[in-house]
Amino acid sequence: MTHRPSRASHVVAPADRSGALPQLVSLKELADRFSCDRSTIARRLAAAGVRPYVFNESRTGLKRYSLDEVLAFVREAKGPPAPQLEPNRRD
């Protein structure tokens, strides 16, 4: 049987400059937080270039996302604040 690499990143979470590992979250945790399906979360993160940390080479392996990267994606996806509309006036 030949080894087929998966499309996901096969890296262990790198430490930052202080030596601390990033806080990781699962698709299930994100789906629960945002009240949508795990596949929706995975699709949106992949489209934004947020790659998972994969700890198993199988298709259904353990995947986690950096909480910092997910929060950065949410901030960017949120966009600028909506303009404030003036209330309707009846003259």
User: Quick one: pLDDT at residue 58?
Assistant: 76
Yes or no: say if 45 and 39 are a contact pair by the CB < 8 Å rule: no
Q: Under 8 Å CB-to-CB from 31, ≥6 apart: which residues?
A: 37, 38, 40, 41
User: Quick one: pLDDT at residue 16?
Assistant: 56
Q: What is the pTM of this model?
A: 0.64
Averages of pLDDT over each 10 residues, the chain, 91 residues: 43 58 91 92 92 82 91 81 62 54
User: Quick one: pLDDT at residue 4?
Assistant: 42
Yes or no: say if 6 and 50 are a contact pair by the CB < 8 Å rule: no
* ∠ Cα 43 48 50 (to 5°): 85
